Amino acid sequence: MKVKNRKIVYQGIEGSYSYLAGVKFFSKENKFIGVNNFKEIFKLVAENKADFGVVPIENSIAGSVYENIDYLNRYNVKIIGEHYLKIEHCLLGIKARMPFNIRMKYIKKIYSHPKALEQCSKFLDKYKNIEKIAYTDTASSAKLISELNDITLACIASKECAYLYNLQILKNNIQDFKNNFTRFLFIAQLNFNFKEYNLNKASIIFTLPHIPGSLYRALEIFAINNINLTKIESRPIPEKPFEYFFFVDFIFNSRINLDEIFLKFRKKVKKFKILGIYKNAKMWYD
């Protein structure tokens, strides 16, 4: 979806993976606003103080971002699209002319987001003597290294951060797994209307009555209609101990009468919320 001159909020600063996903989906011809946490994204969009929000929902290695599933349940926003961003972590440092093996002997600390450090564990395990420091996000760690201008410090971030913060790429693609993707969702106000065609994916949230077989009977409707569930996650309801809501994504084809499916589904569940109907994104493998 290409738009212009809209306010788009994301977590982190310029160069973060959320920022890169937002640019790819909306284009650079917008005002991108970095905030400190995911909750602020949902608040700004729900309160009509921003047009769109960019939120990671799951990573192919680390799994779901539970916090954002909970916010989708709590805030009145809707999903208008998704994007799979391939995560390519790089080791960055200030510029210096020396071979990689020599440079690594100088480095004493490596900064990055905890998940990025986790996703590069095999590389980092080779350097037991280097301290690994968790930081707010990957792009902020790159900015910090640039500002400190210290040859003993490095960070893990995107290659775009090297260009943005005048750093040297010491090592490319240091993540444990080659095909590492993060799925991002793009949210808008409930009253946002847009013309998109070939919509074939939906996200919903629901709760169930506490009776045997309730989940089976609810999901049976999708199986009967040959609908592919691509994600199902249960999350606790804080104000109701040991009760849960379910987050489900599914892909459907144009021959399906979705309104009729939802009508039947509502009769099988308690709370029911349609989070969004949008176009399924693709992952591009090497």
Active-site annotation, residues: 182, 184
Burial-class residue 40 by CB neighbours within 10 Å (0-12, 13-18, 19+): middle
Pairing mode of beta strands 201-206, 272-278: antiparallel
Sign of the CA dihedral with 98 first, then 118, 88, and 153 last: negative
Burial-class residue 84 by CB neighbours within 10 Å (0-12, 13-18, 19+): middle
Share of the chain residues as helix, strand and coil, in percent rounded to the nearest 5: 30, 35, 40
Sign of the CA dihedral with 265 first, then 269, 273, and 276 last: negative
Strands across the sheet containing 168-171? 131-134, 109-112, 153-157, 90-93, 168-171
Asked if 19 and 139 count as a contact pair (C-beta separation under 8 A), the reply is yes
Give the DSSP H/E element, type plus range, for residue 41: helix 38-46
Q: How far apart are CA 6 and CA 4, in angstroms?
A: 6
Pairing mode of beta strands 52-59, 7-11: parallel
Q: How far apart are CA 242 and CA 173, in angstroms?
A: 42
